[in-house]
């Protein structure tokens, strides 16, 4: 039975921040990945306007998760970061490119194609890099004497490439269901056509990753195929099937919010699956949450700031989504 102490409270806060980032920024990265599949002009303007009011607020959770990891679990930060320099730098460059595209695309007509390309490529690179980093973490980080001892390219493996592709396709599903919910007319109809293939591809990739993961490390195999945790081997897939059924019903009955909420449910269930595999490790099979945590006094001091900061971020996030609720008006724009 784990101790209910500050290290586990902080692990829960950081896990929540990362999950919030994945499900919130995931759909606007997905809109960027699908962007070239919409016609130039009104369709692309409408797609970008659907995420323009909220995309930068969504990335706040990435800052909270990354900053919190550095401050609260410095040993994990110091050992994981050198192992993942390449995908993390690629992710940040991708986020910068797409962020600039939001502003510059609306200030030029002749060079708009450049910023369309920046929005698409930045979104795709960021999604792939996040998935690759996740896959590299799942397959394990080489640590000895509290230091990273692996090479520069250890993250580049068939499994990490697979997780990179899986996350990018999953984000495309989130983006398609978001556009189905937020837009009208031709953009909505085209987004609906993307939902079907993105859903099938996401489920196929989730299945392959799920079948592969238990054989990467004995820890994962034991977690998923021994009692009592083996019960999750049935519960998690069953819950995902339930989400897919709700998504299907939402599509055929024109309940536009259902597919998006179902896609979020699939992401949350996959995230829970990762947590089941990892717990109580923060770096799988190498560092536990307790081993990687900062001194107790630091955890107490930082928790005071988190008690103030997290509700503030939650408050303005909820307010932003409330203000910009409903369908996007094709005749008006955010810019």
pLDDT for res 180: 96
Q: Report the mean per-residue pLDDT for the chain.
A: 91
pLDDT for res 65: 86
Judge whether residue 55 has pLDDT over 50. yes
Q: How many CB atoms lie within 10 A of CB 125?
A: 22
Q: Is 83 part of a structural domain of the chain?
A: yes
User: pLDDT (tens digit, 9 = 90+) per residue, 200-235?
Assistant: 999 999 999 999 999 998 888 988 888 888 888 889
Q: Is 330 part of a structural domain of the chain?
A: no
Q: What is the largest CA-CA distance in the chain?
A: 63
Judge whether residue 107 has pLDDT over 60. yes
Q: Is 285 part of a structural domain of the chain?
A: yes
| Joined tokens for residue 257 | 């919010």
Q: Return the CATH number at 11.
A: 1.20.1630
Number of domains in the chain: 1
**Domain boundaries, position 249:** 6-324
Q: Is 334 part of a structural domain of the chain?
A: no
* Alpha-carbon distances, residue 151 vs 139, 140, 155 (angstroms): 14, 13, 9
Q: Are 247 and 263 in contact, with CB atoms under 8 Å apart?
A: yes
pLDDT for res 170: 97
Q: Is 1 part of a structural domain of the chain?
A: no
Q: Is 329 part of a structural domain of the chain?
A: no
Q: Are 153 and 11 in contact, with CB atoms under 8 Å apart?
A: no
Q: Is 75 part of a structural domain of the chain?
A: yes
Q: Is 164 part of a structural domain of the chain?
A: yes
């Amino acid at each position: 039975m784990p101790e209910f102490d500050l290290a586990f409270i902080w692990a829960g806060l950081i896990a929540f921040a990362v999950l919030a980032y994945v499900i919130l920024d995931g759909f606007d990265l997905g809109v960027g990945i699908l962007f070239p599949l919409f016609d130039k002009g009104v369709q692309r303007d409408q797609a970008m306007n659907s995420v323009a009011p909220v995309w930068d607020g969504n990335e706040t959770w990435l800052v909270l998760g990354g900053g919190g990891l550095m401050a609260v679990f410095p040993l994990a930060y110091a050992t994981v970061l050198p192992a993942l320099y390449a995908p993390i730098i690629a992710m940040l460059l991708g986020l910068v490119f797409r962020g600039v595209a939001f502003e510059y695309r609306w200030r030029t007509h002749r060079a708009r194609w450049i910023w369309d390309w920046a929005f698409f490529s930045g979104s795709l690179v960021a999604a792939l890099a996040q998935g690759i980093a996740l896959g590299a973490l799942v397959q394990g980080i080489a640590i000895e004497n509290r230091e990273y001892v692996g090479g520069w390219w250890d993250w580049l493996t068939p499994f990490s490439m697979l997780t990179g592709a899986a996350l990018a396709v999953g984000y495309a599903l989130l983006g398609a269901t978001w556009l189905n919910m937020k837009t009208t007319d031709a953009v909505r109809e085209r987004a609906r056509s993307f939902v079907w293939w993105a859903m099938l591809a996401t489920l196929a990739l989730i299945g392959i990753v799920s079948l592969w993961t238990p054989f990467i490390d004995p820890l994962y195999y034991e977690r998923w195929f021994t009692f009592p945790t083996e019960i999750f081997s049935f519960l998690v897939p069953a819950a995902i099937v339930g989400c897919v059924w709700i998504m299907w019903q939402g599509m055929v009955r024109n309940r536009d919010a259902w597919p998006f909420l179902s896609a979020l449910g699939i992401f949350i269930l996959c995230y829970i699956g990762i947590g089941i595999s990892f717990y109580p490790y923060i770096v799988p099979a190498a560092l536990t949450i307790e081993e990687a945590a900062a001194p107790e006094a630091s955890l107490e001091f930082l928790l005071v700031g988190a008690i103030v900061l997290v509700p503030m971020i939650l408050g303005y996030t909820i307010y932003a989504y409330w203000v910009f609720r409903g369908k996007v008006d094709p005749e008006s724009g955010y810019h």
